Amino acid sequence: VFSSVTSVLNMSVFKDQYVLEDLIQELKKKNTALSFGPLQSNGHISVQGSFPAIKMLRDFLLLKAKSFSEDKNEERKSHQRQKKQQQQCRLTTDTNNFVHDAEGEKQVVVLDTDIYLYMKNVLPKKLLTNTDVVISDITDGDITTLYLQKVRSRPHAAQVLAFKEEIEHQSLKLHNTLCKERIYLEEYTRDEKQKYKLMCETLKSHYPSVLVIPYATHIDVIGNSSEVFEFTREVNK
């Protein structure tokens, strides 16, 4: 059993989007269980702590990198659209500036699909309901990408960034508390599968903080560990 793990991070990949020193300070605040060494001139930094804490840090940085990649793709697409518009018709300088500003009011959040579904279906609706921000989502397997854009009639573009940070903060909290159990149904007959699904539907009202996602071959149960354990125990009685 490893009581402590030391890892060397290459933070230089973030230098085009973040001030590395500020990003390191953010990581220290979010990961108080970890010990950070000095930031080297080449962007490397050593981190020491428990394996789960190191893994959580890795997952957080992967989300950051994915978001950065999505942002760059959006910027490139925006540039291509503007270039195409300029070729097709003569736009005034004011119009071009307006399009650029509108693109700047977009934010991208990359979430684990299970966490996104939990946020969407279990947490208070106000978390993903914001009258000042339009949300669109694209799910690709285990990853769901949210695209946030300010409603044009609203005055404060900073609200989009604040909303993104709120979602990221809640996602990290859920990452630390949620667990998932899978009830496999492949070996059961059609009637037995239906019985399991009906049982889950019946129990849901007694476990409002548990998310149940039925599939053809299995049922996923997502929530905090104690409630998920109790829920699956009831189903398997």
Mean pLDDT confidence for 216-227: 92
- pLDDT tens-digit readout, 115-151: 999 998 888 766 676 667 788 888 888 888 888 887 7
Neighbouring residues of 133: CB distance < 8 A, sequence distance ≥ 6? 148, 149, 150, 151, 159, 160, 163
Q: Using alpha carbons only, give the angle 50, 55, 56 rounded to the nearest 5 degrees.
A: 100
| pLDDT given for residue 90 in this prediction | 30
Name, of 79-88, 90-99, 163-172, the range with top average pLDDT.
163-172
- Convert the chain into a string of H (helix), E (strand) and C (coil): CCCCEEEEEEHHHHCCCCCHHHHHHHHHHHCCCCEECCCCCCCEEEEEECHHHHHHHHHHHHHHHHHHHHHHHHHHHHHHHHHHHHHHCCCCHHHHHHHHHHHHCEEEEEEEHHHHHHHHHCCCHHHHCCCCEEEEEEEECCEEEEEEEECCCCCCCHHHHHHHHHHHHHHHHHHHHEEEEEEECCCCCHHHHHHHHHHHHHHHCCCCCCEEEECCCEEEEEEEHHHHHHHHHHHCC
* pTM for this predicted structure: 0.55
pLDDT tops 60 at residue 23 = yes
Lowest-pLDDT choice from 27-36, 103-112, 124-133, 158-167: 124-133
Mean pLDDT confidence for 104-118: 83
pLDDT tops 70 at residue 79 = no
Domain ranges, ordered by start, for the chain? 179-235
Q: What is the CATH number of domain 179-235?
A: 3.30.70.270
| pLDDT given for residue 153 in this prediction | 60
